[in-house]
Amino acid sequence: MAVVRLEVEDGVGTIRLDRPKMNALNAELTAELRDVALEASRRSDIRAVVIYGGERVFAAGADIKEMSTKDYAGISTWVAELTGTFEIVAHLPKPVFAAVTGYALGGGLELALCADFRILADNAKVGQPEILLGVIPGAGGTQRLPRLIGPAKAKDLVFSGRQVGAEEALAIGLADAVVPAAEVYAEAVRRARQYVDGPALALAAAKRAINDGLEMGLSEALRLEIGLFTGLFGTEDQKIGMESFQQSGPGKAKFTGR
């Protein structure tokens, strides 16, 4: 039985983690997540993505039992596969929302950090507890977290291994919204649907410009932006958008996604 599923409805693809009880990240889940993320990236009927672990938990971390038996060579392969899978999720050319209920710890938080936006349940607990095991985050926690919330706040979470509640996560910029637990998935889908009828190629270009640009010097990033901007003048949506603006004003265009 699959532990990761892709469910599609009205342009929103839900990547559903389903490995009871805590969605622990093992080799099987990592491989299936990679396949599902690649499929979501390719499919033209998916215009936005929600990552969801279910009503009780997002993902409580890596499978420590599986991890603890590995030697240096084994863990090097294991973490490379996990990091590579997360890179695919992070580079999905569509808006991505993490709908977080319960725990998102260790690798679970690292997965949520790959999303563009994080919607947390009011009972959610997030953190990077790897230091309590004598190691450090190995799948993006020391890199994506400080880029999101700043180095000092990231060091506090990584050095202490403490768990952060939803309201603190919102205050430090780790969450984009906090809602009652029963509403997390619906709220993430509602927000994702805002982009379903948008210009898909322009949204992908905007995401790439922001994400890749943050890794570059300003001059190089500006060149990237120019290239992506001018490339959109070969799209159907650019013509539709500009013609609609001239005829009807802003916000009236009916985009095709091409």
Annotated catalytic residues are 110, 130
As a whole number of angstroms, the distance between CA 124 and CA 101 comes to 5
Nearest to 98 by CA among 42, 143, 63, 49: 49
Rounded to whole angstroms, how far apart are CA atoms 161 and 60? 13
Phi, psi of 145 (to 5 degrees): -65, -50
In the sheet that holds 125-127, the strands lie side by side as 103-105, 125-127, 164-165
For residue 15, the surrounding DSSP H or E stretch is strand 12-17
Give the C-alpha separation, 205 to 208, whole Å: 5
Q: Torsion angle of alpha carbons 54, 57, 61, 63, nearest 10°?
A: -70
